[in-house]
Amino acid sequence: MRRAFVFIPLAIFLALAVVFFTRIGGDHSVVPSALINKPAPQLALPALEGANTPALDPAAFKGNVTLVNIWASWCAPCRAEHPFLVRLAKDNRVRVVGVNYKDQPANALRFLVQLGNPFVAIGVDTAGRAAIEWGVYGVPETFLVGRDGSIRYKQVGPITAENYSRLLAEIEKALAN
């Protein structure tokens, strides 16, 4: 009887290890969000001084399909995904806007000068309050806002060659509505 009790903790440990390792191999960019199909946060954010780009005004979401990218100059994955944002910005059917997260303005400007500015508007979130309202886990994150002003899709982590086609499909769905 005592030997059976010795094996119970081992069996529990092995079961938990199997669950852990099967979950760790999944797609981390697909994280459920409580904000999907809910209105996008209505937070106006000040412009990034020197970027010659207007401030972020959530009223502009209505009637437009908008991609909202949360980024920072100190974020290496943000740098890696930036060419995809530049490519998306060439599609005039979609507005690409940025929320600069907890960044130094001079560093953010240097980032945009080096890599190009794909954003039609940039809001500065120095304290991280807007990111909390958007339900951001970390940077980068990208949200697709439909014409009705509700969040249609959330991309956790950088846009990559592997997930770019999924994002394009979500954009096409939003444009069709």
Q: Which residue has the tokens 């939003």?
A: 174
pLDDT digits (tens, 9 = 90+) for 75-86: 999 999 999 999
pLDDT at 34: 81
Q: How confident is the model at residue 111 (pLDDT cuts 50, 70, 90)?
A: very high
| The residue type at 116 | G
pLDDT tens-digit readout, 2-50: 666 667 766 677 667 666 666 555 555 455 678 899 999 999 999 999 9
Question: For domain 28-176, is the CATH number 3.40.30.10?
Answer: yes
Q: Give the domain ranges of the chain.
A: 28-176
Q: What is the DSSP string of 30-61?
A: ----TTBTSBPP---B---TTS--PPB-GGGG
Say what the pLDDT of residue 117 is: 98
- Give phi and psi for 33, each to the nearest 5: -125, 135
Residue 1 has pLDDT above 90, yes or no: no
Structure tokens at 143: 């949200």
What is the average per-residue pLDDT within 60-70? 96
What is the average per-residue pLDDT within 53-70? 96
Helix ranges, the chain (H): 2-24, 76-89, 105-115, 129-134, 164-176
For residues 24 and 39, what is the distance between their CA atoms, to the nearest angstrom?
Answer: 31
pLDDT, the chain, mean: 90
